[in-house]
Chain A
């Protein structure tokens, strides 16, 4: 069995239960795939093979004795934004240095308690701030997808896998894990899913616990799954979601049977198509894809109606006030005192300043400064308060829409995957990547991206479905209808497998000399 890493979660689960292969064999297949491909893709910043094999061994015991848990023996990747007990967690920033949490995130605990195996920590944009995975301290992730050239052959141009969950999307698309954890503050699950032909769901704010996830913008952050199929994403969310007393914003509501809902179909479902998402400069192939999606849902029994979400265009500028403001506050904790990097200065203030200058990358510094500015005395009302009022209007648009529709269909991104470096010099061009996804975070709603077609360049495109609060089940049903019609989009050429073996890269970190606990003062 050499193709075990190409299985879906549903297939692997079936194979394990039927004893076609063991959890150890399955895990080893992924570890081999990581060893062979990670030097090209840079999807993992820290593979954890020993831990994975130990977990797989326990899974094999349980599979044998008949007390298998829901995700028994299924190997997953874990975004490096999730704290992992005694396993280095960096948020892909230099400032966390060799931070080894003393605790596991609640989502991680849920997954490992359900029997899943952790293959390692996945690359992402630094503190999840980015839309291309180019701001990581460990270097960019390369998408397994390649563009078609003029001659119809695949070029060797390096494309972005989207961001911030670019390690997650690349690893899932390339078969370096069955599925992965991810987080979404403005589109960081759905945009990478769209760019890599994978399925990504951002749950309703409060559906999954945020405890133990490195915070970016607390009123917008929400974790969710990235997977190969709609069914796999439904299986993942079922295990990730829970009520958590340690997160006061987590919701005390039962977790529905998402996988079970998939068979219900979408007959009679009312789908809204918002005219405001037909933005200037949107490529004709995105418009065509959208029309196809409408036709597929209609054919599956849904009714379509045009709706209006009048404040859509203000979501992105409002987001770029709210998110940096919350980030500047959340990131104040990185001061070189309690954990992470310290770069000494002549006094405590200069120590803070040196540490944060050396530890934060360019995009993070930019956002912390914007956030500090909009929260500073005299500007709070003009910026932060104004943005939060606009946010109320954005949510109200959706509340009105729910009177006439059950879900909303839009494109996920305005363009297909772009090349590394293409948008790095222009922050606003990069921010526009999230133009269709960010409204969902601003309104706290669930959204899913499902692969729907290929661009003229031969790279994936996604459609987004937006749902009512806590109605993820409907999103999975509608996404399944699209997947049934569009089929799956698998990378045609596994070029990265020719790369040979090499270890995971080290972050380009410069740590200040470190004293061990119990060390003496200078």
Chain B
């Protein structure tokens, strides 16, 4: 699969990573190389195979729907780049 520059920019936008023009060019080549390499999987007939959902056959665990944690707002905001009281502060989202 060849990836063109427009695709690289679209993917970078989806991934929320800013890329420069020079990086876009380099990534075009790198991503195409990796995607071509993984294409060898098409040799494998998987028409009758279920996709793996878990490697170890255990039942999904359940527990009582009760509060087990809380009252730790100070801990939660402790590492935030910008806060006000117990809120995270971000640039304006809604005009």
Chain B nearest CB: distance from A327 CB in Å? 11
Nearest chain A CB to B88 CB, angstrom units: 5
A373–B79 contact, CB under 8 A?
no
Could you write out 23 A-B pairs with CB less than 8 Å apart?
A248-B60, A317-B41, A336-B81, A337-B80, A345-B91, A347-B93, A348-B91, A349-B16, A353-B16, A357-B18, A365-B19, A369-B31, A386-B42, A388-B51, A389-B46, A390-B44, A392-B50, A392-B52, A515-B81, A517-B74, A517-B83, A519-B82, A519-B83
A97 to chain B, nearest CB (A): 8
Given A245-B63, A311-B44, A351-B90, A369 and B12 contact (CB-CB distance below 8 Å)? yes
Report the number of A-B residue pairs with Cβ-Cβ less than 8 Å: 184
Contact with B along A318-361 (1 / 0, CB 8 A): 10110000001000100111111110111111111110110010
Partner of A521, one of B15, B53, B89: B89
Question: Is the CB–CB distance between A337 and B38 below 8 Å?
Answer: no
Q: Which residues of A have CB within 8 Å of B85?
A: 518
**Cα–Cα distance between A345 and B18 once the two chains are bound (Å):** 11
Task: In the A-B complex, list the 8 residue pairs whose CB atoms are closest, starting with the nearest.
Answer: A444-B55, A388-B51, A342-B81, A339-B79, A102-B75, A389-B46, A353-B18, A357-B18
CA distance A3 to B11 in the complex (A): 54
User: Which residues of A445-475 are within 8 A (CB) of B?
Assistant: 469
Give residues in B with beta carbon < 8 Å to A. Answer: 3, 7-8, 11-12, 14-19, 27, 30-31, 33-35, 37-44, 46, 49-56, 58, 60-61, 63, 72, 74-85, 88-93
A121 to B80 alpha-carbon distance, docked (Å): 22
Assess whether A418 is interfacial by the CB under 8 Å rule.
no
Contact indicator B35/A373 (Cβ below 8 Å): yes
The residues of B that contact A335 with a CB separation of less than 8 Å are: 16
| Contact, CB under 8 Å: A368 / B17 | yes
Given A354-B18, A386-B46: A443 and B79 interface contact (C-beta under 8 Å): no
CB pair B38 A320 closer than 8 Å: yes
Please give 13 more A-B residue pairs, beta carbons under 8 A apart, in addition to A370-B34, A515-B81: A98-B79, A321-B38, A337-B90, A339-B79, A344-B91, A347-B91, A366-B31, A370-B35, A372-B15, A389-B49, A392-B52, A428-B37, A514-B81
Bound complex: CA of A260 vs CA of B16, how far in Å? 51
Among B43, B51, B91, point to the contact of A385 (Cβ < 8 A). B51
- Is there an interface contact between A368 and B15, defined as CB atoms closer than 8 Å? yes
Partner of B11 from the list A205, A373, A390 (CB cut-off 8 Å) is: A373
Q: Which one of B18, B33, B52 lies within 8 Å of A395 (CB-CB)?
A: B52
Query: Are B15 and A369 within 8 A (Cβ)?
Result: yes
A341 to B81, CA, bound (A): 7
For A313, the chain B residues whose CB sits under 8 A away are: 40
Chain B residues within an 8 Å CB radius of A204: 56
- Chain B contacts of A97 at CB under 8 A? 81
Q: A317-B40, A348-B93, A390-B41 in contact; A339/B80 too (CB < 8 A)? A: yes
B33 contact set on A, CB distance < 8 A: 427-428
Contact A520 B27 (CB under 8 A): no
A521/B41 in contact, CB under 8 A? no
When distances are taken between beta carbons in the complex, the residues of chain A under 8 Å from B84 are 518-521
By a beta-carbon cutoff of 8 Å, the part of chain A in contact with chain B is 97-100, 102, 204-206, 219, 245, 248-249, 251-252, 311, 313-314, 317-318, 320-321, 328, 332, 335-342, 344-354, 356-357, 360, 365-366, 368-370, 372-373, 376, 383, 385-393, 395, 427-428, 442-444, 469, 512, 514-515, 517-521
User: If the complex has contacts A219-B55, A347-B91, are A392 and B49 also in contact, measured as CB distance less than 8 A?
Assistant: yes
CB distance from A226 to the nearest CB of B (A): 22
CB-nearest residue of chain B relative to A387? Answer: B41
Best-surrounded residue of B34, B35, B49, B74 (most CB of chain A within 10 A)? B34
Q: In the complex the two chains form, what is the Cα distance from A339 to B80 in whole Å?
A: 4
- Partner of A100 from the list B40, B44, B79 (CB cut-off 8 Å) is B79
**A338→B15 contact, CB < 8 A:** no
Residues of A within 8 A of B89 (CB): 515, 521
Nearest Cβ distance between residue A336 and chain B, in whole angstroms? 6
Partner of A386, one of B35, B41, B82, B83: B41
CB neighbours of B38 from chain A (8 A): 317-318, 320-321, 383, 387
Least distance between A345 CB and chain B CB atoms (Å): 7
- Shortest CB–CB separation between residue B22 and chain A, in angstroms? 13
The contact of B14 among A338, A372, A383, A521, by CB within 8 Å, is A372
Known: A512-B81, A517-B83, A520-B84. A369 touches B58 (CB 8 A): no
User: Quick one: which of B34, B74, B90 contacts A320, CB cutoff 8 A?
Assistant: B34
Q: Is the CB of B51 within 8 A of A340?
A: no
Smallest CB–CB gap between A437 and chain B, Å?
Answer: 15
Q: Cβ of A340 and Cβ of B79 under 8 Å apart?
A: yes
